[in-house]
């Protein structure tokens, strides 16, 4: 009987403040969707880092006829200098950190250049003679790239040692910034949801001011009076959280896995298992925020 009475009070409160309840649902839905997107984006960044860093190579570019640096004297690197670099990479001190070494001559370098930049203005001035010979070194682990670069940078005939990870870092920095921005927006939206929940409880308490007075006179306990208001806030937030969790799962399943993943088969895309892990987290966050907001609002507005 008591449970039925509380349920009736909750239903009446939600019905009387329907417009505010809908606002709470929408704001909670949007804010938690941003939270879910930020979590999934961070998981995607970690997967991409592991995928690309394991495949990143160190490029050792040799001097060309026009290069003038501390190790280049405007003459192309000689076969002896190239072999000296190979010997360094195969020496006992460096060999454990080198998984594979591939030599790229000028013809092959020109072919790769045209595959990437063919049809651009740069391609008009390119020729095999303008390309630099190079050794492409795959480190045993991504962290070994620094050791390989330090061991070969100052060798005669070496123009430049370039770690491909340096090209990937700006991309990951942009993605991390986007993830932080999503979290920032989500926090602001969650604050708005908390304020709306507080407003909902205030309006509900005001509309039932007479009923609350009667309940106090007949000796109703504080817990009995407070419970419907707490449940109202939690129910509104729970609906928004469930919608957010459902939207995250749907986007991952139908958009990322159904459309993006087949197009980018060389990149690991977050999957349904990741989304199913995030979904209960979103629901928990929504219920937690709603419960705290409702408890604070009750102490402030009901004064009981």
* Sign of torsion over alpha carbons 233, 239, 243, 245: positive
Average pLDDT over residues 71-99: 88
What domains are there in the chain, each with its CATH number? 1-52+169-302 (no CATH), 56-164 (3.30.70.3040)
Buried b (16+ CB within 10 A) or exposed e, 9-19: bbebbbeebee
Percent of the chain with pLDDT over 70: 84
Residue 242: the pLDDT is: 94
Q: Which of 158, 57, 156 is nearest to 100 (CA)?
A: 57
Most confidently modeled range among 73-77, 98-102, 125-129, 210-214: 98-102
Residue 13's pLDDT band (cuts 50, 70, 90): low
Q: Where do we find the tokens 């998984």?
A: 99
pLDDT digit string, tens, across residues 139-156: 988 888 889 989 998 888
Average pLDDT over residues 47-55: 75
Q: Which of 245, 270, 241, 246 is nearest to 175 (CA)?
A: 270
DSSP 105: -
pLDDT digit string, tens, across residues 88-97: 998 888 889 9
Percent of the chain with pLDDT over 90: 13
Q: Mean pLDDT in the chain?
A: 81
What SS3 string covers 8-25?
HHHHHHHHHCHHHHHHHH
Phi-psi region of 6 (alpha: psi -120 to 50; beta: other; left: phi over 0): alpha
Residue 244: the pLDDT is: 93
Task: Identify the three-state secondary structure at position 160.
Answer: strand
Taking the C-alpha atoms of residue 149 and residue 122, their distance in angstroms, rounded to an integer, is 28
First vs last Cα of the chain: how many Å apart? 24
Residue 210: the pLDDT is: 65
């Amino acid at each position: 009987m008591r449970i039925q009475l509380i349920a009736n009070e909750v239903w009446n409160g939600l019905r009387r403040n329907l417009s505010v309840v809908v606002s709470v649902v929408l704001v909670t839905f949007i804010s938690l969707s941003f939270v879910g997107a930020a979590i999934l984006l961070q998981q995607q960044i970690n997967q991409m880092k592991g995928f690309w860093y394991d495949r990143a190579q160190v490029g050792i570019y040799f001097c060309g006829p026009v290069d003038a640096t501390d190790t280049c004297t405007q003459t192309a690197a000689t076969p002896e200098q190239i072999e000296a670099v190979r010997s360094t990479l195969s020496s006992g001190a460096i060999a454990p950190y080198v998984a594979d070494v591939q030599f790229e001559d000028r013809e092959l370098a020109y072919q790769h250049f045209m595959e990437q930049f063919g049809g651009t203005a740069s391609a008009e001035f390119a020729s095999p003679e303008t390309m630099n010979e190079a050794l492409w070194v795959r480190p045993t682990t991504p962290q070994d790239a620094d050791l390989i670069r330090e061991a070969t940078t100052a060798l005669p005939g070496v123009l430049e040692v370039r770690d491909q990870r340096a090209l990937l870092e700006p991309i990951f920095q942009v993605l991390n910034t986007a993830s932080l921005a999503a979290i920032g927006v989500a926090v602001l939206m969650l604050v708005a949801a908390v304020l709306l929940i507080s407003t909902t409880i205030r309006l509900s308490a005001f509309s039932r001011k007479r009923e609350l007075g009667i309940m106090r006179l007949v000796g109703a306990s504080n817990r009995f009076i407070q419970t419907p208001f707490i449940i109202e806030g939690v129910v509104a937030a729970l609906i928004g959280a469930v919608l957010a969790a459902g939207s995250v799962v749907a986007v991952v399943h139908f958009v990322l896995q159904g459309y993006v993943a087949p197009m980018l088969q060389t990149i690991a895309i977050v999957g349904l298992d990741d989304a199913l892990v995030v979904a209960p987290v979103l629901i928990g966050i929504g219920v937690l925020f709603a419960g705290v907001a409702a408890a604070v609002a009750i102490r402030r507005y009901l004064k009981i």
